[in-house]
Amino acid sequence: MTSAVCPGSFDPVTYGHLDVIERAASRFDQVLVACTSNLGKEPLFAVDERVDLVRAATAHLDNVRIETFDGLLVDFCRAHGVGLIVKGLRAVSDFEYELQMAQMNSTIGEVETLFMTTSPVYSFLSSSLVKEVARFGADVSGFVPPVVAAALRARLG
């Protein structure tokens, strides 16, 4: 059985994340979405809320499971017996840091990283930008699933 881990902070999950998760789910037998509980910055949504939103947004995907992790991603991968991470690349600016993380994860945990180029329609999207525009009342329905848009409205007013 082929498996992959799609990691992230998902604060909150966007259509850009979903694009990568859906494409991974169509290529692997099982996809584990790994939501970190340790962001190093104050998240808008608590980890349980972020997980609930990812779960609701991926409910149509039978082979996708959501888990949280705290600590190293390679330890999560090892604990679940998965040796492959799938990440989205939006632009060249993503590449430098993603390359460092991929090489670190390969070195300390022998975990491979496969990059998927983000669909061009979502290449400008980030959770931070979505939160920023939502905070000022912009319509975010083109950027996040309805359940996330509702959660943003409830949290930000």
The catalytic residue positions are 17, 41, 90, 127
Q: Please, which residue, 9 or 118, has the CB nearer to ligand PNS?
A: 9
Angle between helices 47-57 and 146-156 (to 10 degrees): 150
The residues in 39-68 that bind ligand PNS, with binding defined as CB under 6 A, are none
The residues in 118-157 that bind ligand PNS, with binding defined as CB under 6 A, are none
Q: What distance in Å separates the CA atoms of residue 32 and residue 134, rounded to the nearest whole number? A: 28
Query: Is 105 a residue that touches ligand PNS (CB under 6 A)?
Result: yes
Q: What is the nearest approach in angstroms of ligand PNS to the Cβ of residue 61?
A: 19
Identify which range of 4-12, 60-68, 133-141, 146-154 contacts ligand PNS by CB under 6 A. Answer: 4-12
**Of positions 56, 61, 72, 129, contacts ligand PNS by CB under 6 A:** 72
Question: Regarding beta strands 64-69 and 3-8, do their DSSP bridges make them parallel or antiparallel, or are they unpaired?
Answer: unpaired
Question: Could you say which DSSP state residue 71 is in?
Answer: S
**Of positions 3, 14, 36, 58, contacts ligand PNS by CB under 6 A:** 36
Buried b vs exposed e over 22-53: b needs ≥16 C-beta within 10 Å? bbbbeebebbbbbbbeeeeeebbbebebbbeb
